[in-house]
Chains A and B, each alone.
Chain A
Amino acid sequence: MRHLLAPYVSALAAAVMLLPTATACGFFADEAGLVIYSGRNEALVKPLLDRLEKSLGTSVEVRYGDSAELAAQLLEEGDKTAADLFLSQDAGALGALSKQGRLQRLRQPTLDKVAPQYRSRANDWIGVSGRVRVLAYHPDKVPNVPDSVHDLVKPEWKDKIGYAPTNASFQAFVTAMRVLEGEDATRTWLRGLKANNPKAYGNNINVLDAVDAGQVSIGLINHYYWYEKVAEKGAGNVVAKLRFLPGGDPGALINVAGVGILNGSEHRSTADKAVDFLLSKESQSYFADETKEYPLASGVTSTVPDLPPLDSLKAPKIDLSRLESLQQTLTMLREAGMV
Chain B
Amino acid sequence: MTPERAPRTLLLPACLAGALALLPLAYLAVRALERGLGYAWGIVTTEHTVLLLGRSLGLATVVVSACLLLGISLAWLTARTTLPGAAVWSVLATLPLAIPSYVAAFAWQSAIPGLAGFVGSAVALTLVSFPYVYLPVAATLRGIDPAHEEVSRSLGIGPVRTFLRVTLLQVRPAAAGGGLLVVLYVLSDFGAVSLMRYDTFTRGIYTSYQASFDRTPAAALSVVLVLMTVTLVALEVRTRGRAGHFRVGGGAARRVASHSLGRAAVPALAWCGAVTAAAVVFPLGALGYWLAAGNSATWDPARLAHTAGVTLGVAAAGAALTTVLALPVGAVAARYRGRTAHLLEQAAYAGHALPGITVALSLVFFAARYAYPLYQELPLLVGAYAVLFLPVAVAAIRAAILQAPPVLESVARSLGRRPLRVLREVTVPLAAPGVAAGAALTFVVCMKELPATLLLRPTGMDTLATRLWTETGVGAFAAAAPYAAALIVLAAVPSYLLGRHRT
What residues of chain A have their CB less than 8 Å away from a CB belonging to chain B? 1-2, 4-8, 11-12, 14-16, 18-19, 21-22, 25-29, 32, 35, 41-44, 61-66, 68-69, 71-73, 75-78, 80-82, 92-93, 96-97, 166, 168, 171, 200, 202, 205, 324, 326-327, 329-331, 334, 339
Closest to B461 in A: A27
Give the contacting residue for A327; candidates B212, B316, B321, B497; CB below 8 A: B212
Closest to A64 in B: B470
Cα(A2)–Cα(B211), bound, Å: 53
B369: which of A22, A80, A205 is its contact (CB, 8 Å)? Answer: A80
Q: List 14 A-B contacts (CB under 8 A).
A: A4-B432, A8-B320, A8-B432, A8-B435, A8-B439, A11-B320, A16-B320, A22-B378, A27-B461, A29-B458, A72-B215, A73-B364, A92-B213, A93-B213
A6–B461 Cα distance when bound, in Å, is 29
6 other A-B residue contacts (CB within 8 Å) besides A11-B316, A61-B460, A64-B466: A2-B429, A15-B317, A15-B321, A26-B460, A68-B210, A97-B213
Minimum CB–CB distance for A202 against chain B, Å: 6
Chain A residues near B232 (CB-CB < 8 A): none
Is B458's CB under 8 angstroms from A1's CB? no
The stretch that binds A, out of B177-185, B259-267, B471-479, is B471-479
A329 to B211, CA, bound (A): 9
Q: Is the interface of A mostly helix, strand, loop or mixed?
A: helix
B389 interface residue (CB < 8 Å to A): no
| Chain B residues near A25 (CB-CB < 8 A) | 310
Is B213 a contact partner of A324 (Cβ separation < 8 A)? yes
Closest to B458 in A: A27
Is B268 in the interface zone, CB < 8 Å from A?
no
Report A225 CB to chain B, min CB distance, Å: 10
A80 touches B432 (CB 8 A): no
CB distance from B67 to the nearest CB of A (A): 25
Kindly list chain A residues whose C-beta atoms are within 8 Å of the C-beta of B48.
331, 334
Interchain CB contact under 8 A, A27 and B378: yes
Given known A-B contacts A28-B377, A80-B368, A324-B213, A61 and B459 have beta carbons under 8 A apart: yes
Q: How far is the CB of B353 from chain A (nearest CB, A)?
A: 19
Partner of B364, one of A61, A76, A202: A76
Q: A29-B460, A43-B476 are in contact. Are A2 and B209 (CB under 8 A)?
A: no
Nearest CB on A from B47, distance (A) = 9
- Which 9 residue pairs across A and B have the least CB separation, nearest first? A96-B213, A18-B313, A15-B317, A68-B210, A12-B320, A326-B211, A327-B212, A4-B432, A15-B316
- Chain B residues near A330: list those with CB within 8 A: 207, 211
Closest to A92 in B: B213
Chain B positions 121-165 with a Cβ under 8 Å from a chain A Cβ? none
Cross-chain contact B197 with A1 (CB below 8 angstroms): no
B501 interface hit (Cβ, 8 Å): yes
Given A27-B377, A68-B213, is A41 in contact with B470 using a C-beta cutoff of 8 Å? yes
Asked whether, in the complex, the Cβ of A7 is within 8 Å of the Cβ of B436, the reply is yes
Question: Which residues on the A side are within 8 Å of B101 (C-beta)?
Answer: none
Any A CB within 8 A of the CB of B289: no
Chain A residue nearest in CB terms to B376: A82
Q: Which residues of B contact A2 (CB under 8 A)?
A: 429, 432
List the A residue with the shortest CB-CB distance to B438: A8
A71: chain B residues at CB < 8 Å are 213
Q: Give the chain A neighbours of B211 by CB distance below 8 A.
A: 68, 171, 326-327, 329-330
The CA-CA distance from A202 to B110 in the complex, in Å, is: 12
The reply to whether B361 and A76 form a contact with Cβ atoms under 8 Å apart is yes
Q: Is the CB of A69 within 8 A of B357?
A: yes
CB atoms of A14 and B316 under 8 A apart:
yes
Asked if residues A339 and B199 are in contact (CB atoms below 8 Å), the reply is yes
State A64–B471 Cα separation when bound (angstroms).
12
Q: A72 contacts which chain B residues (CB < 8 A)?
A: 209, 213, 215, 357, 361
Alpha-carbon distance A22/B309, docked complex (angstroms): 10
Bound Cα distance from A71 to B218, whole angstroms: 14
- B199 neighbours in A (Cβ, 8 Å): 339
B324 CB, nearest partner CB in chain A, Å: 8
Contacts of B369 in A (CB 8 A): 80
Which A residues are CB-close (under 8 A) to B214? Answer: 96, 327
Q: Which one, B217, B454, B470, contacts A69 given CB within 8 A? A: B454
Q: Which residue on chain B has the smallest CB distance to residue A96?
A: B213
Q: Which of A62, A73, A82, A97 contacts B455 (CB 8 A)?
A: A73
| Interchain CA distance A13-B212 in the complex, whole Å | 44
Residue of A15, A41, A42 near B320 (CB, 8 A) is A15
Min C-beta distance of B426 to chain A, whole Å: 11
Q: Are A8 and B212 in contact (CB under 8 A)?
A: no
Contacts of A26 in B (CB 8 A): 460
Bound complex: CA of A324 vs CA of B213, how far in Å? 8
Chain B residues with CB under 8 A of A7: 436, 439-440, 494, 497
| Cβ–Cβ < 8 Å partners of A80 in chain B | 368-369, 372, 375
A69 contact set on B, CB distance < 8 A: 209-210, 357, 451, 454-455
Q: What A residues does B351 contact at CB under 8 A?
A: none
Interface 1/0 per residue, B340-373 and A, CB below 8 Å: 0000000000000000010001001100110010
Q: Which residues of A contact B102 (CB under 8 A)?
A: none
Answer yes or no: B443 CB below 8 A from chain A CBs. yes
CB within 8 Å for A62 and B459 given contacts A5-B428, A72-B209, A330-B207: yes
Contact with A along B305-319 (1 / 0, CB 8 A): 000011011101101
User: Is B490 interfacial (CB-CB < 8 Å)?
Assistant: no
A267 to chain B, nearest CB (A): 15
Query: Does B71 sit at the interface, judged by CB under 8 A?
Result: no
Complex CA gap A14/B323 in Å reads 14
| Residues of B with C-beta under 8 A to A5 | 428-429, 432, 435-436
In the bound complex, CA of A44 to CA of B195 (Å): 22
A82 to B375, CA, bound (A): 10
Q: List residues of chain B with CB within 8 A of the CB of A205.
A: 475
Give Cα A78–Cα B368 distance, bound, in whole angstroms: 8
Which A residues are in CB contact (< 8 Å) with B312?
14, 18
Contact between chains at B432 and A1 (CB < 8 Å): yes
Given A75-B213, A326-B211; A21-B476 close (CB under 8 Å)? no
Given contacts A63-B459, A64-B470, contact A1 B433 (CB under 8 A): yes
Any chain A CB within 8 A of the CB of B228?
no
- A49 to B55 Cα, complex, angstroms: 43
CA distance A68 to B474 in the complex (A): 17
Check B168 for interface membership: any CB of A closer than 8 A.
no
Question: Please, how many angstroms separate the alpha-carbon atoms of A72 and B319 in the complex?
Answer: 28
Taking the complex as formed, is B430 at the interface, i.e. its CB lies under 8 A from any CB of chain A?
yes
- The complex places the Cα of A22 from the Cα of B215 at a distance, in Å, of 33
> Most chain-A CB neighbours within 10 Å: which of B211, B365, B443, B476?
B211
A15-B215 Cα distance, complex, nearest whole Å: 34
Residues from chain A with Cβ under 8 Å of B436 in the complex: 4-8
Contact status of A68 and B378, CB under 8 A, knowing A7-B439, A29-B460, A43-B473: no
Q: Mark B190-228, 1 if CB is under 8 A from A, else 0.
A: 000001010100000001111111110100000000000
Within the complex, what minimum Cβ distance (angstroms) separates A204 from chain B? 11
A27-B458, A62-B459 given; A44·B209 CB < 8 A: no
Distance, CA A61 to CA B457, complexed state (A): 13
- Residue of A with least CB distance to B319: A11
Among candidates B357, B368, B476, residue contacting A77 with C-beta atoms closer than 8 Å: B368
> Are A168 and B210 touching (Cβ within 8 A)?
yes
> What are the residues of chain B within 8 A of A63 when measuring CB–CB?
376, 459-460
Bound Cα distance A64, B443 (Å): 24
CA of A81 to CA of B367, assembled, Å: 11
Report whether B459 and A11 are in contact in the complex, using a CB–CB cutoff of 8 Å. no
Q: Is the pair B323, A8 in contact by a Cβ cutoff of 8 Å?
A: yes
